[in-house]
Amino acid sequence: MSRFSLRQLQYFVVIAESGTLSNAASRLHVSQPTLSQALTELENALGVQLCVRRKAHGITLTPSGSQVLHHARQLLRQAEDLQSAAAGAGPLTGVLSVGCYVTFAPTVLPPLLQGFSADHPGLTIDFTEDTQDVLQRRLLSGELDIALLYDMEVSPELARTTLYTIRPHILLPADHPMAAQPTVSLEELTPEPMVLLSAPPSSHDTLAIYQRLNLVPRVTYRPTTYELTRALVGRGMGYALLVQRPANDRTYEGYPVVIKEIAEPVPDARVVIAWPRTMRLNRRADEFVRYCTRMLG
């Protein structure tokens, strides 16, 4: 039998995520000497050095430490599943780690978190917003249970199910000459300055639309956030091609913007929920997938 404990694995995961023993001790509400001793005992039990400890620079994982971290996260989740199975079909407990693509997180994530938490008050939901490439890396490393993504450039190592589809649109300042038209042609807009949301994979997909139409946009600005993109458009500094459709028709600064349908045929964007193929969904994640499918499908 292994000579390490689940608590030692838990301490190691928190130390790795916190970067320093002091931060980890604060999160776990234990003393630094206790954490240091647990880490040393885990290294002795496994026969490898998991991290390099530097007083001024915190801890740095060794290659072996990175591998152990991935498996430790899986073991801790399996331990939670075992406890849940032993309790039968009782209330959901434990922690569910959810990722969401940054541009649609403000419109999609809040109602899901609120509704699912109301149905399962004993469950803790940790969530993070980020770009698609970062979320996929965190899924595969075991940091996240599931993530809501666009069905674009998704790793074959991830399983996924479609939640809904949505058509891209053009965002214009309210005083733009084409703002009153029912539809707007990308070909007509191409000579004008464009504000390109540069948050992978949004930018790649946007440019692919132009490529299919044999058009070359005149990209003037490349903001990395959705709201800055809207703010630049609101000030009349260009138009944008976006997917998410927030209910508000004004920017943070109060400038009005309008959503216009695209005259040319463009493919719909699909929003999916994804998880590693090699990892069986635990009960918490499986219930969340069912809830998302029911609410967004």
Tens digits of residue pLDDT in 39-78: 898 888 888 899 888 776 688 888 888 888 888 888 887 7
pLDDT reported for residue 160: 94
Three-state DSSP at 228 gives: helix
Q: What is the pLDDT of residues 180-201, one digit of tens each?
A: 999 999 999 999 999 999 987 8
What is the spatial distance between Cα 74 and Cα 139, in angstroms, rounded to a whole number?
A: 11
Mean model confidence pLDDT for the chain: 89
What is the average pLDDT across 9-22? 88
Q: Return the closest-CA partner of residue 186 out of 207, 165, 203, 201.
A: 207
Say whether pLDDT at 1 is over 60: no
% the chain with pLDDT above 90: 50
Q: Return the closest-CA partner of residue 270 out of 164, 189, 174.
A: 164
Tokens of 122: 């004993």
Better pLDDT: 30 or 186: 186
Can you spell out the DSSP letters for 78-125? Answer: HHHHHHHHHT-S----EEEEEEEETTTHHHHHHHHHHHHHHH-TTEEE
Domains, the chain, with CATH or none: 6-74 (1.10.10.10), 91-164+270-296 (3.40.190.10), 168-267 (3.40.190.10)
Tokens of 288: 């969340």
Say whether pLDDT at 293 is over 70: yes
Asked which of 7-21, 104-118, 154-168 is least confident by mean pLDDT, the reply is: 7-21
Task: Name the band, by pLDDT with cuts 50, 70 and 90, for residue 83.
Answer: low
Q: Return the closest-CA partner of residue 163 out of 291, 295, 271, 276.
A: 271
pLDDT reported for residue 87: 55
CB 265 within 8 A of CB 239: no
Say whether pLDDT at 28 is over 90: no
% the chain with pLDDT above 70: 96
Q: Return the closest-CA partner of residue 237 out of 203, 251, 216, 199.
A: 251
Q: 90 Cβ partners below 8 Å, 6+ apart? A: 84
Task: Name the band, by pLDDT with cuts 50, 70 and 90, for residue 92.
Answer: confident
pLDDT reported for residue 89: 60
pLDDT reported for residue 88: 57
- Cβ atoms within 10 Å of 252's Cβ, excluding its own: 11
* Predicted structure pTM score: 0.73
